Amino acid sequence: MILIRYGEIALKSPRIRLEWEKQLIRNIKSILELNNISYKNIKFLPTRGRIFLDIKLTSNICSLLKKVSGIISFSEVLEASNEINSISKVTLKLADQILENGDTFALKVRRTGTHNYSSIDIARIVGKNVLTTFSDRNISVNLSSPKRTIYIEIRDKNSYIFHNKISGMGGLPIGTQGKVIALISGGIDSPVAAWMMMKRGCYIRPIYFDNYPYLSKKNIDKVINLIKKLRTFDPRKKFYFYIIPHGPNLELFLKNAPKNYTCLLCKRMLYRIAEVITKKEKAKAIVTGENLGQVASQTIDNLYILNDSIKIPVFRPLIGLDKEEIIDIAKKIGTFKISTEFIDSCTAVPKFPITKGDINKVIKFESDINIDNLVKNAINNMKKVYI
């Protein structure tokens, strides 16, 4: 069996907790099913913060469980009853598999429920059995820095024995925090930002603005690959995103406003269109890969101007990270290679974009353009793509 731990959920009120536990179980099942993996049984021990999944822990299952948000860690465990003999027998079985000649080891025992022994009794008795049974292996006990640790968790009538804890992605189960529209551009940042919202329990609906002819169509393939990667963390059976034509908007901005304002006008448009999609998709916020001071449009003055264009919340989970920290996450989740396989830059971007835009000027430039119409056109011409 695999024992799955889900720390943070266990701190919630009983009602929320039950809901989130159910969601986590649904998500685990769903991710296994999406990958055609069958399991015998999955159950949780209410009030105990543990899920048990009846399946062998292969490297494939391991990498899938690492993609389920809400899982703190997991272990392959052997099950025993709460009787000393049973615990000892199963511990010996595990010890036989992992203890090699000359190894030092420790037993760590935890116990909840009432039993006629203490945790220390178990450690002492079972530890002695291990020593005598494998005396020919020249093993010894070392409590402070053992080579191998065997964990024995006794929970009421059952015990679980394991030696390895694998870290999960942490966070909250996807689906417990609603949905956000994720603006994915093909760079390093935006997929990481979207992933961070998924990690905290959000469904995402990715959208991509196609800047053609100011950016190549080839960029779409890259974005699709990025979204496919994000999709592996999502338990939903159906998954789609939108491609929105944005080139015509850029053309108008280039014609009707000073070049150094193009990026601000462009981004305000992305936000506005994203806001309309939010309503259509029953989402409540958007998420972007913006990061303070990274490029001209990401100064506080300019972020202020971007926020001014819409009413809904804009989440920027990368705001306080350094590029190196963002890259580390991108590598961990598998998007870095895709984002950097080729780099195309938007030719509508001016040489010297303004770093401290003037909101009154922005409003003035926009009043010369029929913004509502542009939004409508973009929405009417967007394409839904299933992944």
Select from Mg ion, ligand ATP, none the partner in contact with residue 71, using the beta carbon and a kind-dependent cut-off of 5 to 8 Å.
none
Spatial CB neighbours of 336, under 8 Å, sequence gap ≥ 6: 188, 327, 330
CB 187 within 8 A of CB 326: no
Report the site for Mg ion in 255-294 (rule: CB under 5 A): 294
Name residues contacting Mg ion, limited to 173-212 (CB under 5 A): 189
Could you tell me how many residues of this chain bind Mg ion (CB under 5 A)?
2
State which residue, 260 or 294, has the beta carbon closest to ligand ATP: 294
The contacts of residue 239 (CB under 8 Å, 6+ apart) are 231, 386, 387
Per CB under 6 A, the list member of 188, 204, 273, 374 interacting with ligand ATP is 188
Q: 297 contacts which partner out of Mg ion, ligand ATP, none, CB within 5 to 8 A by kind? A: ligand ATP
CB of 359 to ligand ATP, least distance (A): 18
- Return all residues near 95 (Cβ < 8 A) that are at least 6 apart: 105, 130, 133, 134, 150
Per-residue x/- marks for ligand ATP, 266-305, CB under 6 A?
----x-----------------xxx---xx-xx-------
Piece of the chain touching ligand ATP by CB under 6 A; list 37-45, 95-103, 142-150, 187-195 = 187-195
Under the binding rule (CB under 5 A), the answer on residue 349 touching Mg ion is no
**Count of positions on this chain that bind ligand ATP (CB under 6 A):** 19
Q: Which does 185 bind (CB under 5 to 8 A by kind): ligand ATP, Mg ion, none?
A: ligand ATP
Q: Which is nearer to Mg ion, 81 or 294 (CB)?
A: 294
Tokens representing 200?
Answer: 């905290």
Binding partner at 233 among ligand ATP, Mg ion, none, C-beta below 5 to 8 Å by kind: none
Select the residue interacting with ligand ATP from 76, 153, 189, 366 (CB under 6 A).
Answer: 189
Q: Which is nearer to ligand ATP, 195 or 208 (CB)?
A: 208
Q: Which of 61, 68, 152, 184 binds ligand ATP (CB under 6 A)?
A: 184
Q: Which residues bind Mg ion (CB under 5 A)?
A: 189, 294
Q: Which residues bind ligand ATP (CB under 6 A)?
A: 183-190, 208-209, 211, 270, 288-290, 294-295, 297-298
